[in-house]
Amino acid sequence: MSTTAPATTTPATTTPAPLPVDDTDAFGEEVLGDPGPFHAALRDAGPVVHLSRYDVYALGRYEQVHAALVDWQAFASGAGVGLSNFRREPPWRPPSLLLETDPPHHDAPRVVLEKVLSPRALRRLREQWAADARDLVDEVLREEEFDAVPAIAEAFPLRVFPDAVGIGTEGREHLLPYGDHLFNAFGPANSLVARGAPRRAEHGAWVDAQCAREALRPGGFGAAIWAAADRGDITPAQAPLVVRSLLSAGVDTTVQGLAALLHAVATHPAQWARLRAEPRLARVAFDEAVRWASPVQLFFRTATGDVRIGGAVVPDGEKIVMFLGAANRDPRRWERPDEFDLGRDPSGHVGFGMGLHQCVGQHVARLEAESVLQALLERVETVELAETPRRHLNNTMRAWASLPLRVRRR
Ligand code: OVV
């Protein structure tokens, strides 16, 4: 499946290495349903591979994915972190001030959001979220069998996160479809994008309306962002877009992070037993689940010049896709990468990215996951799949539609 094409630029003295070519549809249903074989082929083909179908350059190895993530000068975000190149086509929504920008524009919004979502700022939520998780899990455990996607993975973030942001209670059903379309839109304009397109304006208008100062309750993350605008840390024009990032990146991601964790423990009974014996492993369990499943599978960058990667050259202005999910299972970096293993140290995984743009909401995600896992550990003896789980296909998220579980209570 891999052939070799000559690289485009060939300086006389430093001949670029040959560039492997792969014509697989990286966003086709076959790969989205089971990306493992494609990821392995990509990693084995070389440090960088040309994906001929989309005319983009792909990184599947941990070393190069990590290197690209931390080199924001050479690998820019400002032209978009999806397939679409904002230098050539207009974005479908005003670009995010966090995700789709580079320094120096990126920095003020980042500093503001880092403070708003810091472990310190989240301390006041810990008790409440622990209680919310216990209530939810008590409700769910009235049945021995339930679908953990709607019952827990969706229900918990939807119960705690919009309240923490401080939006109203009306219209919250827009959050998941908005996020689903957003994450599809980082990929090509395939049938998944077409399916979301008819209602994207409706979801987008609702989300945008929640970002106004008047829409945000005092005490929440949203109000804290507006307070930063009042202090002059960001401009009043920036504030609503920073709030929008919370509503964009904070829901589907944590839903699928929780789903990944629940899937992991349901399919690894020995690891569940270990967690029961050592609840302090709850923290590492979530990070290992994020490494193992990589709910966010990929992001793109744009080359800001002719960029050398492993001896090959990516030409100026071209798009580079970083397969986070492939890097997180690269055997060059991880021992037995396909095993969900609480004995390993998953730190350094790129499931939250790395470098300047590394997930600013990761402490929120960890707190949500720990709250839910703790409540389950207190109440559940064993957990297993009751039926075959069902994937939800998305161009950039590795997601579950359904995760039927059977539990035995303590
Ligand atoms: C990491 C992420 C995903 C989706 C949207 C955003 C960020 C945003 O900032 O809007």
N-term to C-term CA, the chain: 51
Count the alpha carbons within 13 Å of 336 in the hemisphere toward its beta carbon.
8
Is there an atom of ligand 1 within 6 Å of 243 CB?
Answer: no
Instruction: Compute the distance from residue 51 Cα to the ligand 1 centre, in Å.
Output: 25
**Hey, whose CA ends up nearest to atom 3 of ligand 1?**
249
Which residue of 86, 180, 207, 245 sits with most ligand 1 atoms within 8 Å of its CB, as the best mutation to test the pocket?
245
Rounded average pLDDT over 367-392: 98
How confident is the model at residue 40, as a pLDDT?
98
Per CATH, which fold does 21-409 belong to? Cytochrome p450 (1.10.630)
**Hey, whose CA ends up nearest to atom 4 of ligand 1?**
249
How confident is the model at residue 12, as a pLDDT?
40
How confident is the model at residue 17, as a pLDDT?
75
Is there an atom of ligand 1 within 6 Å of 182 CB?
Answer: yes
Is there an atom of ligand 1 within 6 Å of 371 CB?
Answer: no
Is there an atom of ligand 1 within 6 Å of 242 CB?
Answer: no
Is there an atom of ligand 1 within 6 Å of 248 CB?
Answer: yes
How confident is the model at residue 15, as a pLDDT?
74
Q: Give 242-269 as a DSSP string.
A: HHHHHHHHSSHHHHHHHHHHHHHHHH-H
Angle between helices 155-165 and 252-267 (to 10 degrees): 150
The predicted-structure confidence for 44-84, as pLDDT tens digits, reads as follows 999 999 999 999 999 999 999 999 999 999 999 999 999 99
Instruction: Compute the distance from residue 136 Cα to the ligand 1 centre, in Å.
Output: 27
Model confidence band, residue 6 (pLDDT cutoffs 50, 70, 90): very low
Q: Which atom of ligand 1 is nearest to the CA of 97?
A: 9
Based on its alpha-carbon atoms, the radius of gyration of the chain, rounded to whole angstroms, reads 21
Rounded average pLDDT over 234-238: 98
**Which residues does residue 81 pair with via DSSP β-bridges, in sequence order?**
none
Q: Which residues contact 293 (CB under 8 A, 6 or more apart)?
A: 256, 260, 263, 264, 325, 351, 398
How confident is the model at residue 241, as a pLDDT?
98
Instruction: Compute the distance from residue 248 Cα to the ligand 1 centre, in Å.
Output: 5
Model confidence band, residue 8 (pLDDT cutoffs 50, 70, 90): very low
For a pLDDT cut of 90, what percent of the chain falls above it? 95
Instruction: Compute the distance from residue 31 Cα to the ligand 1 centre, in Å.
Output: 23
**Which residues does residue 391 pair with via DSSP β-bridges, in sequence order?**
400
Could you tell me if 403 and 389 are in contact, meaning their C-beta atoms sit under 8 angstroms apart? yes
How confident is the model at residue 385, as a pLDDT?
98
**Hey, whose CA ends up nearest to atom 8 of ligand 1?**
245
d(CA 317, CA 308): 13
The predicted-structure confidence for 339-364, as pLDDT tens digits, reads as follows 999 999 999 999 999 999 999 999 99
pLDDT at 1 over 80: no
Rounded average pLDDT over 34-50: 98
Model confidence band, residue 14 (pLDDT cutoffs 50, 70, 90): low
Instruction: Compute the distance from residue 98 Cα to the ligand 1 centre, in Å.
Output: 7
Instruction: Compute the distance from residue 17 Cα to the ligand 1 centre, in Å.
Output: 35
Rounded average pLDDT over 98-118: 98
Is there an atom of ligand 1 within 6 Å of 396 CB?
Answer: no
How confident is the model at residue 161, as a pLDDT?
98
Which residue of 93, 99, 225 sits with most ligand 1 atoms within 8 Å of its CB, as the best mutation to test the pocket?
99
How confident is the model at residue 5, as a pLDDT?
43
Instruction: Compute the distance from residue 96 Cα to the ligand 1 centre, in Å.
Output: 7
Instruction: Compute the distance from residue 296 Cα to the ligand 1 centre, in Å.
Output: 11
Mean pLDDT of the chain: 96
Instruction: Compute the distance from residue 22 Cα to the ligand 1 centre, in Å.
Output: 28
**Hey, whose CA ends up nearest to atom 7 of ligand 1?**
249
Rounded average pLDDT over 245-265: 98
Is there an atom of ligand 1 within 6 Å of 96 CB?
Answer: yes
* Single-letter residue type at 298: L
How confident is the model at residue 9, as a pLDDT?
42
**Hey, whose CA ends up nearest to atom 1 of ligand 1?**
249
For a pLDDT cut of 70, what percent of the chain falls above it? 97
**Hey, whose CA ends up nearest to atom 9 of ligand 1?**
245
d(CA 5, CA 317): 19
d(CA 334, CA 350): 12
Instruction: Compute the distance from residue 141 Cα to the ligand 1 centre, in Å.
Output: 33
Q: Which of left, alpha, beta for 314 (phi over 0: left; psi -120 to 50: alpha)? A: beta
Model confidence band, residue 18 (pLDDT cutoffs 50, 70, 90): confident
Is there an atom of ligand 1 within 6 Å of 249 CB?
Answer: yes
